[in-house]
Amino acid sequence: MLSVGPVVRVGPKRYSIIQPQAVKTIYDLSGKYTKSSFYNAQGSDDDIFTMRDNTEQRDRRRKVAPLYSMSAMVSYEDAIDRMTTICMGKMDEFAKEKRLISIPNFMQFYAWDVIGEITFDQNFGMMKNMGDTQGIIKEIHTANNNMARLGLLPELQKPYHILEKLIFGRHPMANVIDYIMSQCQKHRDSNTGTKMKSQFDTFLRKILEQEAAHKVETKKVFDACGSNIVAGSDTTGISLSAAIYYLYQNPDKLAKLREEIDTMTSEGRISNPVTYHQAKDMPYLNAVIKETLRMHPAVGTILPRIVPKGGMTLEGYYFREGTHVGTNAWPLHYSEDVYGPDADQYRPERWLEDKSDFEYRDSMMFAFGGGLRTCIGRNIVLLEMTKFLPQIVRRIDFKFEEEKPWDLSCSFLVYPSYKCWVELRENKAQK
């Protein structure tokens, strides 16, 4: 592997750092290192992700954090199961029709339908229609691309957004905003009192209950739903696409996971579909998930922080106050110093070896950022991966397109691209 050292200057007053102790210092829980102007690229710093004031962000996060706990997430298992049933039905169609399918595109449709079901009790119909039904994916991808570019050019952010409004006359994510607002209003119109009525448990119902109890401001209901949609869609689709690719490109790893699933199914230890609590006792599945997030973290850029007043010395390097420092998960996750000489190899077994190695390597995982500003939606991604992968591995085989099996498109997020033919797997253990 190409090595350029643990500290790399990537631009004026901008450094990429993967030295472990320095990473822990920059992203500690004190919030001393605040987010940089990179996060103003969207034209707003008022949501839980882009907000740069750590004190205000901590207060807002505290109010909604219980909604993102894993104990809260498991209440959405039925929503995931409903969408997985639709997904498997589509896989049956693809196999019957012998269609060459973009798996990453379809995983995006799946992830968006799941997050719609979880948040609003209404999916987007993307799997059913095999497309971006409301133009929402396009808007999110455009926003991510803009963030990657304008984040590096803060002096252009304000004039860009002024011109954007003059030329297009509407917010660049108008479809996303309109959809969220319409869902919020629909739920308000159809529910009264502090206990909202819904056929299924949803994120919106829970946040509206907090609003009714005066624990959350009305504007924050919209912000929370927006954060939920963004945090649980593209990143999940990317992670599922990467998991499928790495598993099916490594038949020995796929066979180990299938053996675990088939054995536990035949012994009656897991159901169909697998529940989250059952999956916690599936060591190889959890190793596969962790190794996928290590090999292909969804975010592909530095998450920059500002060196505080007085400057700071990090592992022998002095950085003046105002300097932008940060970590990119990709070089960190491929560091041989952290993950061993085979860091560039997909090997889930590394997470099943020495306990002290596991704890250290796990502490350096950066797929969801780190410290005070760790991604609030991480449990959505983990829950979906935990429940979805056993279902797909049980029933489906993928045959990759040989001419162009793998490609990447990197902006703020790293989107994989590949196509497969779908084949159904015969398996006595699943019957």
Residue numbers belonging to the annotated binding site for heme: 375
Q: Which H, E and C letters describe the chain, residue by residue? A: CCCCCCEEEEECCEEEECCHHHHHHHCCCCCCCEECHHHHCCCCCCCCCCCCCHHHHHHHHHHHHHHHCHHHHHHHHHHHHHHHHHHHHHHHHHHHHCCEEEHHHHHHHHHHHHHHHHHHCCCCCHHHHCCCCCCHHHHHHHHHHHHHHHCCCHHHHHHHHHHHHHHHCCCCCHHHHHHHHHHHHHHHHHCCCCCCCCCCCCHHHHHHHHHHCCCCCHHHHHHHHHHHHHHCCHHHHHHHHHHHHHHHCCHHHHHHHHHHHHHHHHCCCCCCCCCHHHHCCCHHHHHHHHHHHHHCCCECCCEEEECCCCCEEECCEEECCCCEEEECHHHHHCCHHHHCCCCCCCCHHHHHCCHHHHHHHHHCCCECECHHHCCCCHHHHHHHHHHHHHHHHHHEEEEECCCCCCEEEECCEEEEECEEEEEECCCHHHC
CB 344 within 8 A of CB 9: no
- Cβ-Cβ contacts under 8 Å for 162 (sequence gap 6 or more): none
Binding residues, by number, are 375
d(CA 402, CA 197): 51
Pick from 281, 283, 296: which is nearest to 244 by CA? 296
